[in-house]
Amino acid sequence: MAIDYSGSGQYHVTSSTPVTQSPLTMACWFNSDSATATQVLCSVAHSTSTGLVYFTLEAAGAIAGDPIRHRSRNGPTGTVDSTTGYTAGQWHHACAVVASTTSRAAYIDGGSKGTNSTSVSSSSALDRIGLGCLAIQTATTLTNGRIAEVGIWNVALTDDQVLSLARGYSPLCVQPQGLVFYAPLVRNVQDVRGGLTLTATGSPTVADHCRIIYPHNRIVVPKITAAAGGRPARVIGGGIFV
Amino acid sequence: MASSDTLAVFMPQMNEPPTASFATPDERVDNNGRIHPVLDFDAAADEFAQFSSVMPQNYTAAAAISVIVEWACTSAISGTVTWTAQVERGNTDMDTDSFAAAQTADGTANGTSGVTTFTTISLTNAQADSIAKGERFRLLVSRNQDSGTDDIASDVELRSVEIREA
């Protein structure tokens, strides 16, 4: 069950952020109800700023071609769009990779990579994460549609790693040592990686989740072997997790 | 392997979802906030979950198997669900779907929506694509919502799947 935002008065924010500068990667699945409005799917922003400092991952429906857009802003703005766009009512994977203050990229469905090299310096003022909104002082550019499997890494994922995410692998499967925020959004709204609390505004609802492949432990069913005296050995729990 | 012994167990997180018509991950949250991961199957369209494993070395040659689906309803407290199971041996071209024909079984919902029902789908070895010990296989589980028997109008939630030697 993904989280379904109405585009009006519904979003989630944290009270801190584990990343404030590049390198970083932001990714999620989304299923937008609108191909005409620009919607911020995920943001790292400054809660008392009126809009001058942030990183965003956007479904830019108001832009020709409806690309995935990333913006790095701290005074100047580095803006990059994927080279193809999304379709309303379908699940797509969105990703932004910020390798440095002069290198950033936007992807849709693991490809259509757009790049930008505008110099945008880092800011330590970034202090919260927004889901379904640009989490500046007054949350804005709200999402109208579903969001799921939001991950933020403190590293720049490679093109191949972004493709793995778009093929359906959970963020937990892709460079997990750099994954600092992960909200699956399967009904519950939790950062299961960093433990940040996500506070809801409005009452976002739940809807069908996206396709996703989670990491799992193999279950090996042990062979029952005879113990001394001819009685079967007892297997506790019916299986061994390895 | 003796009759009724477990050959494999699959939980919702082990799903390898198809690219379309996939069952969706969900959670059933108890009164203490602890979760049961489940896979939701729609009432309006056939949806699928897929699991892979290797048949244990102690599987008896050509033995029949039982695929036991543990499920509950999202909200319904009566009605029937039709489950299907299909097996594909891992001895064919990975680029070509070669699942054996679907086998089906009906299960009746519990009177409490959160109480699970165990529905057993029986497969001969031939119906299980003639799987043999040591072979990789895929198991495709689906809800056949338009079977004519399935009459629950809301989601049903798969909680586990067990394969036993019959």
Contact predicate A82/A112, CB 8 Å: yes
Give a yes or no: residue B115 inside a domain: yes
Kindly give, in sequence order, each residue whose CB lies less than 8 Å from that of residue B85, ignoring residues fewer than 6 positions away: B67, B69, B102, B103, B104, B121, B123, B139, B140, B141
Q: What is the pLDDT of residue A123?
A: 86
Q: Look at residues A203, A159, A211, A202 and name the one whose alpha carbon lies nearest to residue A184.
A: A211
Tokens in use for A46? 């400054």
**pLDDT at residue B2 tops 80:** no
B162 in reach of chain A (CB within 8 A):
no
Rounded to an integer, the average pLDDT of B13-23 is 93
Q: Mind listing the pLDDT tens digit for each residue in A75-102?
A: 899 999 999 999 999 999 999 999 999 9
Confidence of residue A52 (pLDDT cuts 50, 70, 90): confident
Give a yes or no: residue B150 inside a domain: yes
Q: What percent of chain A has pLDDT over 90?
A: 82
Provide, as residue numbers in chain A, all residues whose Cβ is less than 8 Å from the Cβ of B57. 223
Structurally, chain B folds into a number of domains equal to: 1
Q: What is the pLDDT of residue A238?
A: 35
Provide, as residue numbers in chain B, all residues whose Cβ is less than 8 Å from the Cβ of A216. 11, 13-14
List the CATH number of the domain containing B101.
2.60.120.260
Average pLDDT, chain B: 95
Q: What is the dihedral of CA B89, B91, B95, B101, to 10 degrees?
A: -30
Give a yes or no: residue B1 inside a domain: no
Q: What is the pLDDT of residue A69?
A: 98
- Taking CA atoms, A91 is separated from A25, A143, A219, B113, in Å, by 20, 14, 31, 30
Phi/psi-derived region of residue B146, left when phi > 0, alpha when psi is between -120 and 50, beta in every other case: alpha
Q: What is the pLDDT of residue A178?
A: 95
Q: What is the pLDDT of residue A24?
A: 97
Q: Rounded to two decimals, what is the model's pTM?
A: 0.85
Q: Mind listing the pLDDT tens digit for each residue in B70-90?
A: 999 999 999 999 999 999 999
Residue B45: domain span: 6-165
Other residues' Cβ atoms within 10 Å of the Cβ of residue A123: 18
Confidence of residue A1 (pLDDT cuts 50, 70, 90): confident
- Which of A109-118, A132-141, A232-241 shows the lowest mean pLDDT across its residues? A232-241
Helix/strand/coil (H/E/C) assignment for every residue in chain B: CCCCCEEEEECHHHCCCCCCCECEEEEEECCCCCEEEEEEECCCCCEEEEEEEECCCCCCCCCCEEEEEEEEECCCCCCEEEEEEEEEECCCCCCCCCCCCCEEEEEECCCCCCCCEEEEEEECCCCCCCCCCCCEEEEEEEECCCCCCCCCCCCEEEEEEEEEEC
Q: What is the pLDDT of residue B3?
A: 73
Provide, as residue numbers in chain A, all residues whose Cβ is less than 8 Å from the Cβ of B24. 1, 208-211
Q: Mind listing the pLDDT tens digit for each residue in B121-153?
A: 999 999 999 999 999 999 999 999 999 999 999
Rounded to an integer, the average pLDDT of B37-46 is 95
A156 in reach of chain B (CB within 8 A):
no
More reliable by pLDDT, B33 or A185: A185
- Taking CA atoms, A80 is separated from A57, A64, A156, B51, B124, in Å, by 10, 13, 15, 39, 57
Cα A105 from Cα A167, distance rounded (Å):
18
Interface of B with A in 17-76 (CB under 8 A): 17-19, 22, 24-27, 29, 35, 37, 40, 42, 56-58
- Which of A50-59, A154-163, A222-231 shows the lowest mean pLDDT across its residues? A222-231
Rounded to an integer, the average pLDDT of A49-56 is 82
ipTM above 0.90, yes or no: no
Q: What is the pLDDT of residue A222?
A: 66
Kindly give, in sequence order, each residue whose CB lies less than 8 Å from that of residue A131, ignoring residues fewer than 6 positions away: A3, A11, A12, A13, A41, A42, A143, A147, A150, A183, A185, A189, A198
More reliable by pLDDT, B102 or B20: B102
**pLDDT at residue A241 tops 70:** no
Q: What is the pLDDT of residue A92?
A: 98
